[in-house]
Amino acid sequence: MKKLAVALVMAGVGLANVAHAAGYGIVDMQRVVESSTYLKEQNASLQQAVKPSANRVEQLNKDIQDLQTKAATAKPAEVQQLKAQYDAKVKEINSLEQNIQQRVQSTSQATGQTFTTRVQQAAEQLRKENNLDLVLNKNSALAYDAKSDLTDKMIQKVNAMK
C-alpha cells in the first residue's frame, strides 16, 4: 500500500511537471540555411576569393592541351622542352588546387561555426520571448502543431545578426 502511495505521488509530480511545461517551438533548419543572408554572402565572398586561382587553373589546363597537341608533331629535340613545360604547368595546377581546397575548407569551417552560434543564439532568444521549454528542429519531430512553427521568426533573427 505504501509503495502504491509513493508511486501515485511520483506520478503526480511527473504530471505536475508536464502541466507546467510552457511548450515548444519548431524550426525548419533547411529553410533557415537556404534563407540565410550570412551564408549567401560568405559563399559569394569565397567564390570571389578563389576565382583568380580557378581561372588560372583553367588557363593552365588549356596550355597543357596545347602542349600535348604540339608534342604529337614535335621533333625529338623539342619533346623534352615541351615535357618540362608540361610538368611545370601540372605542378602549378596541383599547387593552386591544393590552395583552393585549403581556403574552401578553412572558410567553410569558420562560416559553419559562426552560423551555428547565430542559430543557437536566435533559438535561445525565441525560446525566451515565447516562454518555451525548447525549440526543436522540424526534422527531429515526428508530429507537431503548425502554430508552433517559428521558422520565419528564426530566419529574421539569424539574418539580423551581425
User: In a structure prediction context, what are the per-residue pLDDT tens digits for the chain, which is 162 residues long?
Assistant: 344 333 333 344 343 334 345 799 999 999 999 999 999 999 999 999 999 999 999 999 999 999 999 988 888 889 899 999 999 999 999 999 999 999 999 999 999 999 999 999 999 999 999 999 999 999 998 999 999 999 999 999 999 998
Write out the E strands in 45-117: none
From 142, 158, 116, select the one nearest 24 (Cα to Cα): 142
Grid coordinates 543557437 are at which residue? 120
pTM of this structure? 0.75
Cα 152 from Cα 99, distance rounded (Å): 38
Query: Which pairs count as long-range contacts for 110-114, CB under 8 Å and 24+ apart, including other chains?
Result: 111/38, 111/39, 111/42, 114/38
Q: Is the separation of the CB atoms in 126 and 150 below 8 Å? A: yes
